[in-house]
Amino acid sequence: MKGLFPMTFAKRLSTLIPLICPQFYTVTDTFGHELVLLRRSGKEAFDRKESFCVLDRTAFEAEHNAMQVFDRLSEKDLACALLTGKTLAENLLNELKKTYPGKRFTVTVEIRPMTRTCIRFHQIWPGEEPYLSPDDRRKNTEVLVLQA
């Protein structure tokens, strides 16, 4: 029966814990790139024992570090979603800066009112474009970008 009932407040809040009290771990590919990933539910989401190589480090981190915050939103909820997303993104960025002071990060909030709101992060890698930028013109999408 999954999907028939909307997520309860308690369930939604529990899914946000990795953004409220973020913890991270790193994995290193065969090129020696140290990739920073968000720990979820006390375990590592990317649990790879064999060696691997990452050609697009930005996309790898951004895709592995994406968290859905809200489902579809009504017009009256947009301001609240933006404020909540910005607050969670700032908290995430502050914790990243504290945990990895020698690295630079981008945290984005994507609000797609008709489908979902997502927060993601990645390192700022030399020679690679950001995963999303405020200039991205995506239909019906608001993008907020924080960097440090």
How big is the chain by its Cα radius of gyration, in Å? Answer: 16
Q: Can you give the pLDDT at residue 96?
A: 98
Q: Which residues of the chain have pLDDT under 70?
A: 1-7, 42-49, 134, 136-140
DSSP lists the bridge partners of residue 142 as: 111
Q: Can you give the pLDDT at residue 88?
A: 95
Q: Can you give the pLDDT at residue 136?
A: 66
Task: Provide the whole-model pTM.
Answer: 0.85
Q: Give the integer Cα–Cα distance in Å for 53 and 55.
A: 7
DSSP 23: -
Q: Can you give the pLDDT at residue 1?
A: 44
pLDDT digits (tens, 9 = 90+) for 100-119: 999 999 999 988 878 888 99
Q: Give the integer Cα–Cα distance in Å for 86 and 119.
A: 9
What SS3 state is found at 121? strand
